Amino acid sequence: MSTENEGNEGTAQPAAPSVPPVPAAPPQGAPQAAAPAAPADHPPAPAPAPAATPPPATPPAPHQQGAGWPPPPPAFPAYGTAPQGDGAHPGVWGVPVHTPEPPRRKRSGGLLAAVLIAALVAGGVGGGVGYWAAERNDNGVDSTTVTAADIPKDLQRAPGTVSAVAGKALPSVVTIEAKSSAGGGDLSGVGGQEGGTGTGFVYDQEGHILTNNHVVDSAAQGGALSVTFSNGKKYDAEVVGRAQGYDVAVLKLKKAPPGLAPLPLGDSGKVAVGDSTIAIGAPFGLSNTVTTGIISAKNRPVASGDGSGSRNSYMSALQTDASINPGNSGGPLLDARGAVIGINSAIQSTGGGLGQSQAGSIGLGFAIPINQAKSVAEQLIKTGKPVYPVIGASVDMATKGAGAKIIAQSSGGTPAVTPNGPAAKAGLKAGDLITRFNDKPIDSGPTLIGEIWNHAPGTQVKLTYERDGKQHTATVTLGEREGDS
């Protein structure tokens, strides 16, 4: 809203005309002169001088003959005369009446200017007072702002904090790019068919990288692999060995740089529920991402894979609520000291499946215990092939609830219990329902396999099973199977 005319609304005075307008007819009761006639033989004479009390109107005298035509214009309008003397009556109707000019309203411009000046002065005073008060508070005890007295130029994080652990571990974590190729294509995608991104970490100073099998599976047969460190340096790599059932793979850098720093390995057997966890990886391709959580559960039976059942992996996993997403696979799960306690491998998705789908984290992530992964890695580095412990019996992998039931006949028509195998030697038969492995309850076939694969071949274990409604126990010495069947 403009303030240009504020205070002057309705006060504008138009300038008075220099000559009063001639009305069409005089008002009633006012002295008047006869209207001038049209030019003829009797032009009107000038009106008589006004008296104190205006007499009734007198018809104009006829114009004297020979006075000449037209008559000279009157000094005042023909219908009135000028006032004569002090206090004279203003005259007959039509004579301009001199009225004293009313006093003009003072314009508000001066007032506005004064108000503005006062406001500026008040503002200056207020600003000065505010500055004085602020200075006083800064130097006194009334301030509510707290400032660190001495901030070091090079801020050092205390050992054991997440930032300190992550800062030390990140240089040893890599992002893996895998690309399959029909004709020897490379990671640029020329001739490529499929590929993916995952994570791994430095296992030793010779340049071995530990990761998941499903991260490198697409490039295992003639594809291309590369790893990128947190400093952006990229190196070509090759597969040394992989174990589909364990979901573990070992790579080796073709030209390993000097000074590689392997991540320290912890003891997953000593992990407790509630322990802090730190996950590092490349979720959805976002390299060097750090998330935190706790160990939510131990020995969680997990079967993950491509959904067909023929390429599944089984583990007795560490469960964590640290955010794990596609791309985190193969990355380290660290404890509060920065030691590796697991390899991030699978997530529970909202679709209800376990695996490596594109669903995001819902706080249910699963890692392969590092004790198991280390044993597999050493075997792969040594021979290039995995070795699996077995009991020599096939169990139902679909039913869940009461236990793991030995089926009547395995696929391909072979006996469900291998003749002269570990289970046969311990007296187990087809139809037996295994309910416990050592002292751990078994509710399904995948749970049983996950527990078996946590042990080395040759280990003696105790199985509890039911037959014909009766409970039995047996001691079984684990056998072995080399390679993925």
Name which of 379, 376, 385 is nearest 482 in CA terms: 385
**Is 42 in the active site?**
no
From 214, 217, 313, 394, the catalytic residue:
214
From 329, 361, 394, 444, the catalytic residue:
329
**Is 455 in the active site?**
no
Q: 484: how many CB neighbours lie within 10 A of its CB? A: 14
Tell me how far apart the alpha carbons of residues 321 and 43 are, in angstroms, rounded to a whole number.
120
Where do we find the tokens 């100073």? 205
User: C-alpha 127: how far from its chain's center?
Assistant: 41
Asked if the peptide bond before residue 70 counts as cis, ω within 30 degrees of 0, the response is yes
Is residue 225 classed as helix, strand or coil in its secondary structure? Answer: strand
Q: Beta partners for 290? A: 280
Where do we find the tokens 């008296």? 51
**Is 98 in the active site?**
no
Identify the sign of the CA torsion 25, 31, 36, 41.
positive
Tell me how far apart the alpha carbons of residues 290 and 281 are, in angstroms, rounded to a whole number.
7
Tell me how far apart the alpha carbons of residues 313 and 335 are, in angstroms, rounded to a whole number.
24
Please give the DSSP secondary-structure letter assigned to residue 397: S
Q: How many CA atoms lie within 13 Å of 210's alpha carbon, on the beta-carbon side?
A: 32
Tell me how far apart the alpha carbons of residues 174 and 170 are, in angstroms, rounded to a whole number.
8
Amino acid making up residue 17: P
From 217, 247, 321, 335, the catalytic residue:
247
Where do we find the tokens 């508000």? 108
Q: 334: how many CB neighbours lie within 10 A of its CB? A: 29
Contacts of 447 (CB under 8 A, 6+ apart): 301, 316, 404
Strands 248-253 and 234-243: what pairing? Answer: antiparallel
Active site residues: 214, 247, 329
